[in-house]
Amino acid sequence: MKRKSKGIGALPVDLKVRNRMLILNAIKDGNLYSAADIAKETGISRPTVVKSIQYFIDRNLIVSQGKGESTEIGGKKPELYGFIYKKLLLTITMWPDFLALNLCTMNLKKIASVKIEAPIKNNPQEAFDLIREKSLSLITQQGYQLSDLYGVSLSTAGTIDYETGNLKYSSRTPLWGTNVPIKKHMREIFGEKVEILIENAGKMTGRYELVRSEEEQNRILVLFSTWGLSACLIERGHVLSGDDSLIGEVGHMVIDPHDEVLCGCGSYGCAERMLSIEKVKRLSKNEDITFEELFIASQKGEEWAREIVKYLANTFAYLVRNISLVFNPNVVVFQGDYSHADDYFKNTLKNRLSEFKYYPKGGAFEIEYNEMSLEELDLSGALNFLQRKFFQDEALYQ
């Protein structure tokens, strides 16, 4: 179902530019629309829509795709229009256990992809040499060149400095050190004219929830759990990061300072360690157990599994409660390992949170479990990130 256009960031004062932004934003999904469809979708008068369509046709952003079916008996068939910007998007997922690249059109249709199941390289130069090789191969095999790219995104573990494009630090690649110039490496591969966007993995997958944040909710807390634990805090369509990019690094909130395991950040008792599969292995005394096996055993009612799941749910309750005291989300979404939790985990978490007297009787927020794969969520979030950047370019509307 197509959603009503709500605008895309801070809109210019000029009404003509604002209308053009709304019109182009309304058809960016690649489907075909008549002028009447666009007028209804945006609330802009049909004559204004027609003028704007011609403006975009002249700039090779919109093309007429012929006549559609008439909605009335004997009525004139409407002319249909579609978004045709020819540039491409490249998403790169550089996570500890694999490297994935996806080449897509501007209206988010995948053209080709490649995935390498391999540990991350011991130094950034090796990692970006591999990215160069795979990116150029993927692009040229499809008959394109680097000049055909509009933008490239990179999703990675760690904290990003958004001003410099540096990886400030990642506990997953400690040998890389601090302030790794990721954007500089990317520029050396893709050049100066390509838009480059770099994002923390947890925030990138969390961007999947952005559309709903704009239209249905004010604040969403997305909890990302796999080889690490982090969060994406979304408020009214915007991902929060903070001056030091630390908003969302909830995996390093200290839950138990007396815990004996040292976290990669240098502290003891971080949530990331308290809720990790390594912790589950120690509690179960089974080095081969997975989250999936744990939750299956718990669902079956096996006592040993339920004791561990109860511990995990209670620990998450502490974490979520502490976050909610400073962010107060409307919705909490679990992604990754804990999105597949069993009913015992969900009920224990809900009951523990309900004990907090400051929450309203019906609960302070909804809890959801998004079972899509993290790789799929990362791709969706990355494409959303790149497409938004394009449609926020005011030069398109002047």
Would you say residue 180 lies in a domain? yes
Over its length of 398 residues, how does the chain's per-residue pLDDT go in tens digits? 333 333 334 443 467 888 888 898 888 888 899 999 999 999 999 999 999 999 999 988 999 987 766 555 455 788 999 988 889 999 999 999 999 999 999 888 899 999 999 777 789 999 999 999 999 999 999 999 999 999 999 999 999 999 999 999 888 888 899 999 999 999 999 999 999 999 999 999 999 998 666 556 689 999 999 999 999 999 988 899 988 888 999 999 999 888 888 887 888 989 999 999 999 999 999 999 999 999 999 999 999 999 999 999 999 999 999 999 999 999 999 999 999 999 999 999 999 999 988 888 777 899 999 999 999 999 999 998 998 899 888 788 77
CATH at residue 71: 1.10.10.10
Q: Which domain holds residue 107?
A: 88-205+377-397
Per-residue pLDDT at 6: 38
Same-domain status, 115 and 236:
no
Per-residue pLDDT at 11: 40
Same-domain status, 228 and 368:
yes
Same-domain status, 219 and 120:
no
Q: What is the DSSP secondary structure assignment for residue 208, as one 8-state letter?
A: G
Per-residue pLDDT at 253: 93
Would you say residue 120 lies in a domain? yes
Count of the separate structural domains present in the chain: 3
DSSP state letters, 354-387: HT-TTS-TT-SSEEEEE-S-HHHHHHHHHHHHHH
Same-domain status, 240 and 183:
no
Same-domain status, 218 and 329:
yes
Q: What is the DSSP secondary structure assignment for residue 193, as one 8-state letter?
A: S
Same-domain status, 112 and 196:
yes
**Token match 């990215």: residue?**
131
Q: Return d(Cα 339, Cα 350) in angstroms, integer.
A: 14
Per-residue pLDDT at 243: 83
Backbone dihedral angles phi then psi of residue 183, each to the nearest 5 degrees: -65, -35
Neighbours of 196 (CB within 10 A): 21
Same-domain status, 171 and 263:
no
- Cβ-proximal residues to 120 (8 Å cutoff; 6+ apart), any chain: 94, 95, 96, 99, 127, 172, 173
Would you say residue 385 lies in a domain? yes
C-alpha closest to that of 251 among 231, 227, 233, 232: 231
Per-residue pLDDT at 7: 37
Same-domain status, 247 and 310:
yes
Chain centroid to Cα 166, Å, comes to 19
Which residue, of 29, 63, 83, is where some domain finishes?
Answer: 83
Would you say residue 4 lies in a domain? no
Q: What is the DSSP secondary structure assignment for residue 313, as one 8-state letter?
A: H
Would you say residue 39 lies in a domain? yes
Per-residue pLDDT at 4: 38
Per-residue pLDDT at 53: 93
Q: Is the distance from CB of 262 to CB of 268 less than 8 angstroms?
A: yes
Q: Is the distance from CB of 259 to CB of 269 less than 8 angstroms?
A: yes
What angle, 0 to 180 degrees and rounded to 10, lies between the N-to-C axes of helices 303-327 and 343-354? 40
Would you say residue 117 lies in a domain? yes
Same-domain status, 179 and 276:
no
Would you say residue 6 lies in a domain? no
Per-residue pLDDT at 144: 97
Instruction: Give the dihedral sign, CA 354/252/127/389.
Output: positive
Same-domain status, 111 and 218:
no
Which residue, of 44, 60, 83, is where some domain finishes?
Answer: 83
Same-domain status, 216 and 329:
yes
CATH at residue 283: 3.30.420.40
Same-domain status, 134 and 76:
no
Would you say residue 2 lies in a domain? no
